[in-house]
Structure 1
Amino acid sequence: MIVSKKAFHVKGLDYMVRSAMDEDAKELSDLRVQIDGETENLDREKGEAFIDASGFEQIIQTDRENKTSLFLVAAVDDRIVGFSRCEGNLLTRFSHKVEFGICILKEFWGYGIGKNLLKESIAWADSNEIKKITLNVLETNENAVHLYEKLGFEIEGVLKNDKILSDGKYYNTIMMGRFNG
């Protein structure tokens, strides 16, 4: 689905949140690899589960055509610095919910980009009869957990020893959901 673009000014930084477009595909492919290499908060190591430009074009097109999916990007001076997706499910029993995922370049953390991508996603979901948004977050990503709770998400479960990070230790994944019904 497509949403209207929205401008933000946070801590001296101007950025735009808008729907992903076909011409963003190559930049998104490169960006995802870079972000995966900057943090262990995400599921992938740098270069794993690589999606090339044509793969992103397909995702963008599918999300644009699916009323229960939304693909947003955050751009600073026309440079994409982060993105989020709400991925819907076409099965009737799950048609009321979407799964949210997000990633932002480390140099742009702290400017409210994640919060604003999520708030725009919540507004879209609430206005499109999406009753539930789910997400998974690494237990050590306390800032994200607090943000999600602040925006109405609740902890629904914990996957114990779910991920192994570069320190060789196992970490839990927190499953969270926000129900608007």
Structure 2
Amino acid sequence: MMIRNIKVDDAERFLNLSKQLDEETKFMLYEPGERKTTLEAQTERISSILSSNNSMIFVAEADGEIVGYLGAFGSDLNRIKHSVHIVVGILQKYTGQGIGSKLFQELEDWARKQHIHRLELTVMSHNQAAFALYKKVGFEVEGIKKHSLIVDDEYVDEYYMAKLL
């Protein structure tokens, strides 16, 4: 298993991974079939991220397939350019194998080099596995976003979590 920065030619595999995650878990933002991203748009997005100083997508590759990712997305606005918002997705078949921890280590190494000071994310309050991972790698709950999402016709709270480097 290898962790690396995404490449432009990963666009199709990354888009397929995202769609597969939409299908197999309810912990991601998109519902099955809701993602309308085209291959061209995905390619452009990856190219834009790679040309940025404060955004990156790290992918986990196993057996020649992309099986997970961690996206760190920053802004060029002066007041928040020290911060990135994080999105993580790992295929169910590969969870519990340390991939998440390795993705976060890669993120931290990159963030320190980019002078990123704040890592932040949200997690559904009932996503115990992800919450445990985030706590393990040093994130702390900063607040609760009540009724943040609707999943299966039920309101779901999210925790705001962050880690300062």
Aligned partner of 2:137 in structure 1 is 151
Aligned partner of 1:7 in structure 2 is none
Tell me if 1:31 matches 2:17.
Answer: yes
Segments of structure 1 that go 5 or more residues without pairing to the other structure are 1-14
Instruction: Give the SS at the match of 2:96.
Output: coil
Aligned partner of 1:3 in structure 2 is none
Once residues 145 and 37 of structure 1 are traced to their aligned partners in structure 2, the CA distance between those partners, rounded to angstroms, is 21
Aligned partner of 1:8 in structure 2 is none
Tell me if 1:178 matches 2:138.
Answer: no
How much identity, in percent, do the aligned residues show?
A: 32
Aligned partner of 1:169 in structure 2 is 154
Once residues 121 and 56 of structure 1 are traced to their aligned partners in structure 2, the CA distance between those partners, rounded to angstroms, is 21
| Shift in Å, 1:115 | 1.6
Once residues 112 and 11 of structure 2 are traced to their aligned partners in structure 1, the CA distance between those partners, rounded to angstroms, is 27
Q: How many residues align?
A: 165
Q: Tell me the TM-score normalized by structure 1.
A: 0.87
Q: Is contact 1:16-1:74 (8 Å) kept? A: yes
Aligned partner of 2:62 in structure 1 is 76
Once residues 173 and 101 of structure 1 are traced to their aligned partners in structure 2, the CA distance between those partners, rounded to angstroms, is 13
Root mean square deviation of aligned Cα: 1.2
- Structure 1 stretches of at least 4 aligned residues deviating more than 3 Å after TM superposition: none
Q: Is contact 1:26-1:52 (8 Å) kept? A: no
Segments of structure 2 that go 5 or more residues without pairing to the other structure are none
Aligned partner of 1:103 in structure 2 is 89
Once residues 64 and 20 of structure 2 are traced to their aligned partners in structure 1, the CA distance between those partners, rounded to angstroms, is 18
Matches for 1:45-84 after TM superposition, within 5 Å: 45-84=31-70
